[in-house]
Amino acid sequence: MSTVQKKKLLSGPMIRNAVKDSFVKLNPVTLMKNPVMFVVEVGTFIVLMMVLLPGYFHASEALGFNITVFVILLVTVLFANFAEALAEGRGKAQADSLKKTKQDISANKVTGGSIKIVASSELRKGDIVVVSQGELIPGDGEVIEGLASVDESAITGESAPVIKEAGGDFNSVTGGTRVVSDEIKVRITSDPGESFLDRMISLVEGAKRQKTPNEIALNTLLISLTIIFMIVVVTLRPIAGYLDVDLEIPVLIALLVCLIPTTIGGLLSAIGIAGMDRVTQFNVLAMSGKAVEAAGDINTMILDKTGTITFGNRMASEFVPVGKETEEDVAIWAALSSLKDETPEGRSVIELVKKLGYSYDAGLASGAEFIEFRAETRMSGMDLPDGHKVRKGAVDSVKRWVASQGGIIPDNLDQHSNSIAGKGGTPLAVAVGNRIYGLIYLKDTVKPGMKERFEELRKMGIKTIMCTGDNPLTAATIAAEAGVDGFIAESTPENKIEVIRSEQKEGKLVAMTGDGTNDAPALAKADVGLAMNSGTAAAKEAANMVDLDSDPSKIIEVVAIGKQLLMTRGALTTFSIANDIAKYFAIIPAMFTLAIPEMEVLNIMGLGSPSSAIISALIFNAIIIPLLIPLAMRGVSYKPMSSTRLLRRNIFVYGFGGVVVPFLGIKLIDMVVSLWI
């Protein structure tokens, strides 16, 4: 992960900028975007007028109380602004780091038959540029000629360069990355201001962050509750007057502010921005907040087998003896043949021997001659100092080599070889001189921990479907080993679209990963499409998320982040509304106890006086917002479980907790405030 994303939750400069922005956001035009806090600001202004013009409002006797209410209300608005500014500040910090990567560099533009040096800002979609070793790629594009090693650390944070070549699924390059070897010809695919890096900067800044459907729905609920409580408070004064209870305007405003959901109103925007930020921390660029939310509601996940569920390289998984040989003999000779074989297959043979606990003399490699693999022989091996010639390779090639030395082919060699091939594996024969010892069973190995991760998804209620071009027998073997819920063998792009449509017809949301042009239609059709940054421009354009690390299995983390975002919003909404119950028991008795002594029975917290009760409730209402900022930014911890269990847990923790915490908090604050009043 890049240094751009290794951010602390809070830092000094970030807090200072957020404090400054908190006052800037007091502008009513800005605050109107948050209706709940706008109502609080209007109430703050009204109380301020009563403080500045006490004679006009006949509020001279309660001047001290009014000043206290004004200060607390102002702090409440500032805290809400601070939460949003802090979340935006983290995005801006990331954007500033990315802007350092974005620079106006020179480009070798192909014009006619010549090369013209121009500024990268002058390049347009369709232009062709030549980029040589050591030069920065001037803009997003596709390699149309050549092959080169490209350093993408400025974007992904990974130091290892990646190979980009014309044709295939690895021809996409990003502006601001550097060519470290060879030379490539690139066709630019974006106009100035529309590049991948430009979009990334805009999104992490929050400049183009649109409210998601769930966020809009919740905002509508908060507005509705605010309007309802406003009506209640407005009608409360004439009712109280009928009972000869004089309710002052600051008291009514205090009641309104305590009853409307100010906690979630102040944190709602911060939760959304922080959700996008958490995705970015995983080196995933979400094109919209809607995509992150959709990930949280996913029912079905479609995953490619190669590179996602499996390593993609065929690895040694078993030693199969033939004739009268033993597994240990096969393992030892296979290891000796692989001592200097640096291919993934060769390294996997050594690892399997160690795993099985067999020992061999690695010192033999020092004086041995390594026989490299060649297409003509289809074998590799070692000529050992003691005269033994060890070979491993394609079964037919090894059989011919052994036969040429007068050896006898074991009767069950072909049977075992065909059995491995029938399972979708690759058999490699191991021979020493004129004697075949057995076979190495190579297969595309499932990544460690995938079965457990799919079990977690199952607990979330998500069905997993593996797509592979393998035959049904191999597909079934891998599917059983990985623990997926279903698979599609001999899969085509059309098959992926068909299964997506089938799941969506049942009202399910579908996620999938892909990197090739042939994946683009399915990525566009899926509700959440995660494209690989190493893939084609078509795939990245079709998807609504791009993984900068090009790790297909990261879709699992994206789903968890989406669920965490929805949980955080739901949990804090529950907590906010539950808060109102405690504040109700603090303020209502305080308003009416003097005129109606019977109301004292509702003062279950035993608060000191009407004034201290109101002040204490207001103070708690204000300070709970900054206390919840870390939770809003970091997100509620998520553990895979069923929706029913999750709902039950959150209602207990944030519903019951949302009632108990204010009771304790208001009581403690009242004990201090009573001493002052």
Residue 361 is labelled as binding a ligand:
no
Tokens describing residue 504: 């969506």
Residue 547 is labelled as binding a ligand:
no
Nearest to 197 by CA among 138, 277, 150: 138
Tell me, yes or no, if 191 is annotated catalytic: no
Residue 345 is labelled as binding a ligand:
yes
**Contact (Cβ atoms closer than 8 angstroms) between residue 417 and residue 439:** yes
Residue 458 is labelled as binding a ligand:
no
Amino acid, res. 471: N
Tokens describing residue 402: 């052994």
Residue 92 is labelled as binding a ligand:
no
Tokens describing residue 71: 């200060």
Nearest to 372 by CA among 395, 334, 419, 339: 339
Residues whose CB is less than 8 angstroms from the CB of residue 69 and which lie 6 or more positions away in sequence, other chains included: 47, 250, 253, 254, 614, 615, 618
Tokens describing residue 1: 């992960």
Where do runs of H (alpha helix) occur along 287-326? 289-296
DSSP 306: B
Q: What angle do CA 344, 349, 352 make, to 5 degrees?
A: 120
Residue 605 is labelled as binding a ligand:
no
**Contact (Cβ atoms closer than 8 angstroms) between residue 469 and residue 462:** no
Residue 375 is labelled as binding a ligand:
yes
Residue 49 is labelled as binding a ligand:
no
Q: Residue 81 burial (CB < 10 Å; 0-12/13-18/19+)?
A: buried
Nearest to 457 by CA among 560, 530, 303, 308: 560
Query: What DSSP line would sit under 115-146, residue for residue?
Result: EEEEEGGG--TT-EEEE-TTPBP-SSEEEEEE
CA 615 to chain centre: 42
Residue 634 is labelled as binding a ligand:
no
Residue 515 is labelled as binding a ligand:
yes
Amino acid, res. 621: N
How far is it, in rounded angstroms, from Cα 504 to Cα 497? 10
Question: Tokens 């022989």 belong to which residue?
Answer: 377
Point out the catalytic residue in the list 140, 304, 527, 551.
304
DSSP bridge partners of 165? 147
Amino acid, res. 114: S
**Contact (Cβ atoms closer than 8 angstroms) between residue 59 and residue 29:** no
Tokens describing residue 146: 């050549």
**Contact (Cβ atoms closer than 8 angstroms) between residue 495 and residue 518:** no
Tokens describing residue 257: 């502010």
- Distances 469 to 7, 233, 475, 495 between C-alpha atoms, Å: 41, 66, 8, 11
**Contact (Cβ atoms closer than 8 angstroms) between residue 470 and residue 424:** yes
Amino acid, res. 51: V
How far is it, in rounded angstroms, from Cα 241 to Cα 244? 5
Residue 329 is labelled as binding a ligand:
no
Residue 235 is labelled as binding a ligand:
no
How far is it, in rounded angstroms, from Cα 221 to Cα 213? 12
Residue 170 is labelled as binding a ligand:
no
Known binding residues for Mg(2+) are 515, 519
Known binding residues: 341, 345, 373-380, 392, 515, 519
Q: Which residues are annotated as a binding site for ATP?
A: 341, 345, 373-380, 392
| Catalytic machinery residues | 304
